[in-house]
Amino acid sequence: MTIEESKGAIDKGDITPSDLTNDLLQRISGVEEKLRAFVTVNSEEALIQVKMAEERLKKGGKQALQGIPIAVKDNICTEGFRTTCSSKILENFVPPYESTVTRKLKESGYILIGKTNLDEFAMGSSTENSAFGHTRNPWDISRVPGGSSGGSAAAVAADMCIAALGSDTGGSIRQPAAFCGVVGLKPTYGRVSRYGLVAFASSLDQIGPITKTVKDSAILLNIISGHDPYDSTSANLPVPDYTSVLGESIKGIKIGIPKEFFAKGLDSEVEDSVKKAVKELESLGALPVEISLPHTEYAVAVYYILATSEASSNLARYDGVKYGLRVEGKDLLDMYMKTREAGLGAEVKRRIILGTYALSSGYYDAFYKKAQQVRTLIKQDFDKAFEKVDAIVTPTTPTPAFKAGEKTNDPLQMYLADIFTISVNLAGVPGISIPCGFTSNNLPVGLQIIGKQFDEEMILKISYAYEQSTNWHKKKPPL
Ligand code: GLN
């Protein structure tokens, strides 16, 4: 069931929140061993939350998510409930406060069904960098679900929750959504508060919904968006009702097709599905226009300088003193080193080293400053494109889900999995991935639609029109 369907069924009294939660917990215990989508399943407390939701319903409560079970990526702080970032260094960390997004979900009456698996500190594209086991793709368990929000995407695709939250720094919502055949939306930078999201690269991180349908994406975005005094980078702008634009015609809407995204390295079946999707949009009245985003080729390089620089600074807080793991040593330095040696995985260490290097004196101007300058050029590419078009349509990923283990020994290959999503974070604009087909071996393909800053309405409207005229989102993995 979707949020929309389960809300309808609960309101009519066809099902109760207890039925729904118990069914999902049963489903989780049936498939979790295969998929490992969760770090922690909230089996006990969820049932208490359900009782409270049912009490409120009895009193005529009308909250948007009254009794609807939603999974949350395990890098989003939930008060009193373990939040690990899939890292040993936070294995036993229980946040003393609630993130703004989960506070808003709580106020809407949601049930926290569990915390989902991710690449450690959201660094990765396959959920293989988790310290607590690899998540598998429900469409083919020999393959990865994408990452870093692989647990959330797999859980939604495999019907282990009604919907989920993920976070996206360079593609971590959209890329796993594409690999798992679900809808993933990265909002405009500043649309959603980052308070309580464990920081990876603060100038890029955004929280967003991973859902079964576009409507559900709009419903969750309505709830989590808005200004937050606890996050000074959250924008003080009104939040429109994102569901109100769904169903509007897309006639005459100009969609840009960037030629740089249909180049060497793009899988032919992915290309085929995306081109057919563009034709479908055209038959719905949209007007495709060829555009150019000339600095696309630098996006991955720029990202891996800026994201690692920010990460090296953000992760300095895990030092064995303030919170998290501590391994005693013979003196302070020894304690720091032993703690970080034991607590952090290889990819996280690699990034701290890369970022520290890029920020060090002598290299700062050559790497960090240069990367910031090129980031501006990438942003200007989008500004120029959006003078001509209303949205941009691309593949979400260059290939469908790859095999587990295929790229773990080659970080550069892994980094290229986000080649089509990363520039969207660098530019700070919103992007969504929706299902647009399947390969010959039954793997989902994602279509990415990118919008102007704070124009989530446009990409949701286009996505909804496409979804209503196709059936890809209705297909279920053969688990
Ligand atoms: N795969 C990219 C990385 O490893 C993006 C991760 C993300 O969006 N959190 O940095």
The answer to whether position 23 is within a domain reads yes
Q: Report the pLDDT value the prediction gives residue 417, as an integer from 0 to 100.
A: 87
The answer to whether position 122 is within a domain reads yes
Q: What percent of the chain has pLDDT over 90?
A: 96
Res 297 pLDDT > 90? yes
- Domain with 66 in it: what CATH number? 3.90.1300.10
Q: Report the pLDDT value the prediction gives residue 412, as an integer from 0 to 100.
A: 87
Give residue-wise pLDDT tens across range 216-246: 999 999 999 999 999 999 999 999 999 999 9
Give the nearest ligand 1 atom to 124 CA: 4
Structural domains in the chain (count)? 1
Ligand 1 binding pocket (C-beta < 6 A) is 122-125, 148, 168-172, 200, 307, 418
**425 CA from centroid of ligand 1 (Å):** 10
The answer to whether position 382 is within a domain reads no
The answer to whether position 402 is within a domain reads no
Give the nearest ligand 1 atom to 172 CA: 8
Which of the following is catalytic: 87, 108, 149, 172?
Answer: 172
Query: Does residue 264 have an active-site annotation?
Result: no
pLDDT band at 349 (very low <50, low <70, confident <90, very high): very high
Give residue-wise pLDDT tens across range 391-450: 999 999 999 999 999 999 998 889 988 999 999 999 999 999 999 999 999 999 999 999
**244 CA from centroid of ligand 1 (Å):** 32
Q: Which residue has the CA at smallest separation from atom 5 of ligand 1?
A: 170
Give residue-wise pLDDT tens across range 23-41: 999 999 999 999 999 999 9
Instruction: Tell me which residue range forms the domain holding 126.
Output: 3-234+244-250
252: region left, alpha or beta (phi > 0 left; psi from -120 to 50 alpha): left
Q: Which of 120, 148, 202 to mutate to test the pocket of ligand 1 (most atoms within 8 A of CB)?
A: 148
Give the nearest ligand 1 atom to 422 CA: 5
Q: How far apart are CA 94 and CA 81, in angstroms?
A: 5
Q: Which residue has the CA at smallest separation from atom 10 of ligand 1?
A: 123
Residue recorded with tokens 């793009």 = 266
Query: Does residue 172 have an active-site annotation?
Result: yes
The answer to whether position 108 is within a domain reads yes
Give residue-wise pLDDT tens across range 112-152: 999 999 999 999 999 999 999 999 999 999 999 999 999 99
Q: What is the mean pLDDT of residues 58-78?
A: 95
Give residue-wise pLDDT tens across range 242-253: 999 999 999 999
Query: Does residue 148 have an active-site annotation?
Result: yes
The answer to whether position 147 is within a domain reads yes
The answer to whether position 100 is within a domain reads yes
What DSSP string runs through 127-146? S-S-TT----BTTBTTB---
Residue 119's nearest CA partner among 157, 192, 175 is 175
The answer to whether position 160 is within a domain reads yes
Q: 0.85 cut: is pTM over it?
A: yes
Q: How far apart are CA 163 and CA 213, in angstroms?
A: 9
Residue recorded with tokens 């793709």 = 137
